[in-house]
Chains A and B, each alone.
Chain A
Amino acid sequence: MEQSPINWGRPRDDVYGHYSEAISQAPNTHSLPKKHTQQPTVTGSSVIGIKFDKGVIVAADTLASYGSLARFDNIDRLTQVGDSTIVGIGGDISDMQYVQRLLEELEIEENYDNSGDQSLHSENIFNYLSKVYYNRRSKMDPLWNAVLVGGVDSKDEPFLSHVDLLGVTFSSPALATGFGAYLALPLLRQLVPYPDSYKNVTEADARAMVEKCMKVLFYRDARSIDKYDVATITKGNVKIEKDIKCKDQNWRFAEDIRGYGRTTS
């Protein structure tokens, strides 16, 4: 290496021959930094969840959009993990499938050497997921999702928590991601305005409100569809209902609306 200040960093001419200026002009094939996920491609929309006195209901529609194209209309976004937890995922579908694989591995690993002294409760699965999401965003390579974890915790209490691509976590008796946060959450909060309100909510009431929310989302969210899955988790029981249609839609008023203001006739 040439140590003379004017030639710092260059091979010595007497050893390697005359320095070719072309070397420093050579096109840099690594001119751009490594690219990570910078935007989602195929996406799922809202996930909504609400606690009731004995458990939790989580719901998500079955659409996976490719931009504004309703590309796949039969994608399950609710995943059961263990025997008392449902993970509902919105956002990038390929990242969702990766997370679903992680959760499957987690469950296999749990059962591998487990003599039954321990089981995966909702808070364990949620805590694991929150570490995964925060770890990935800290590597500047986020998993582009918003996630609801619903179920029954180790004290047999209803559990509902949220984690997203930033690793942000929070908990509430009613939660919703995406458009649901704007459209469904105000409705859900009519049932559970305060942290303890869910103790006075029956499964039937919560279920009826979830159906109403999914209908409102179908009315007003352009990336939604009128077909959805609902999971109801109570102590020792997970019930998943698939392909529910939005019922009792009201479009009758439409025929009375004409034009965009006073008409000439």
Chain B
Amino acid sequence: MFRNSYDNDSVTYSPTGRLFQVEYALEAIKQGSAVVGLVSKTHAVVVALKRNAEELGSYQKKIIKVDNHLGVALAGLAPDARVLSNFLRQQAMSSQMVYKRPLAVSRAVYAIADKAQGNTQQYGRRPYGVGLLIIGHDEAGPHLYEFLPSGSALEYRGAAIGARSQAARTYLEKKFEEFPELSLEELVVEGLNALRDTLAQDKELTLKNTSIAYVGKDTPFTLLDDDKVVDWLAKLDGVSRKSNPRPTGGEEAAEGTTTEGEPAADAPETDAPADADTMDTTE
């Protein structure tokens, strides 16, 4: 017997008016590692936590460039994010070819939101299993959007999706009023601060597991990985722990400056899969 006879496909409503398949898709996002996005008056930033399936494996890319003014960060099924970002690339090229202008961020987001919505309305299809934070800059300035497989596309001043993202949202909610006036550098550091709150107890942000991307008026979309994030992680160490002690380690934060002063590049790679399920393909 089925536990629930209203969750066999994405087009069946439950008696309470819910689409369970869509809700399950939203669960896939929570399996993925966290991404955090935030905007100032001049720039939009996303930072992401990368995961590797095993010690010997590489870290899965979390941020995808779409165009010089547009990019996405993903949490959930990476193949679905590839499909959506490839579609966005085509839209962006089409806009450049036909109208000789960059694709507006809102247009890009609504285009994929409409695709996602279609999948919840047609039999035989499935919702996308991925959530995206989309950053871009257009005529109206910098933007940050959250895309969900339900077809919802909302603009945010700060947002976080993925595993333990509630911690990052709490951080952003506390500080978002300062964001509009921040410089790019301060904005990235705030993003990393929020991202660090999503880490499990024994984890650290390292050059291997951290991705940073930003875009602004005269700043084309820039993706930083590996060696290029070292300087940013150094800034994080200098600023953050004092102003933002980890909630779980009050005493530790007070006296724990010795371990935190350690250069991020030399930190031992302790990152392991969040759970033992090696078939988990969410990122």
Residues of A within 8 A of B (CB): 113-121, 123-124, 127-128, 131, 154
Contact = CB atoms under 8 A, between A and B. Distances in A.
Contacts of B100: 123-124, 127
Given A114-B104, A114-B107, A119-B139, 12 more contacts: A114-B106, A115-B106, A117-B140, A118-B138, A118-B140, A121-B101, A124-B99, A124-B101, A127-B98, A127-B99, A128-B98, A154-B139
Interface string B97-141: 111110011110010000000000000000000000000001110
Given A118-B139, A118-B140, A113 B98 contact: no
A123 B100 CA distance: 7
Contact of B105 (A113, A117, A121): A117
Contact of A113 (B107, B140, B143): B107
Q: Which of A115, A116, A118, A121 has the most CB of B within 10 A?
A: A118
A115 B104 CA distance: 10
B267 to A, nearest CB: 41
Contact of B104 (A118, A121, A123, A127): A118
Nearest to A124: B99
Contacts, number: 40
B106 A117 contact: yes
Contact of A128 (B99, B105, B143): B99
The 10 closest A-B pairs by CB, nearest first: A127-B100, A117-B140, A118-B104, A124-B99, A117-B104, A117-B106, A115-B106, A118-B139, A124-B101, A117-B138
What size tier do the contact residues of chain B reach?
A: 10 to 19
A128 B98 CA distance: 5
Contacts of A117: 104-107, 138-140, 143
Nearest to B114: A113
Contacts of B143: 117
A191 B278 CA distance: 75
B97 to A, nearest CB: 7
Contacts of A115: 106
Nearest to B138: A117
A117 B107 CA distance: 9
Nearest to A119: B139
B170 to A, nearest CB: 29
Nearest to B143: A117
A119 B104 CA distance: 10
A113 B139 contact: no
Nearest to A131: B98
18 contacts: A114-B106, A114-B107, A116-B140, A117-B104, A117-B105, A117-B107, A117-B138, A117-B139, A117-B140, A117-B143, A118-B101, A118-B138, A118-B140, A120-B99, A123-B101, A124-B100, A128-B98, A154-B139
Contacts of A116: 140
B239 to A, nearest CB: 33
Contacts of A118: 101, 104, 106-107, 138-140
